[in-house]
Amino acid sequence: MNRLKAKDVAPFRAERLAHQGGLCALCKEPITSTDRVVLDHNHVSGAVRGALHNGCNVTLGKLENAARRYGVNLSQFLLGAYSYQRSSLGVLHPT
């Protein structure tokens, strides 16, 4: 696997974004000229994953850090989170 040089990050990020059709690799929403786009990477291996909105990158980082801290299997958590978040037991919480 090739390691990017610091001077190559910006052009590679632009290339990835174009390859992704101008969409965030995570949320699939357009990344506009006013958005801050970042090159996401795995902080353990260094492997680049894609171009993301800064907010998506920050949120993913917080999830990854919390999952490690609390021993949560992040892949399983994310697979279940979408349907769970939309579920309801038909009872309202008092808050």
Residues 6+ apart with CB under 8 A from 80: none
CA distance 45 to 3: 11
Provide the phi-psi class of 50: left if phi over 0, else alpha when psi is between -120 and 50, else beta.
left
The model's pTM: 0.86
| Beta strand residue intervals within the chain, DSSP E | 37-41, 48-53
Pick from 1-5, 16-20, 26-30, 55-59: least confident: 1-5
User: Quick one: pLDDT at residue 43?
Assistant: 87
26 burial class (0-12, 13-18, 19+ CB within 10 angstroms)?
Answer: middle
Under the banding of pLDDT at 50, 70 and 90, the label for residue 37 is very high
* pLDDT tens column, 38-95: 999 998 899 999 999 999 999 999 999 999 999 999 999 999 999 999 999 999 999 8
Paired with 39 in beta bridges are 51
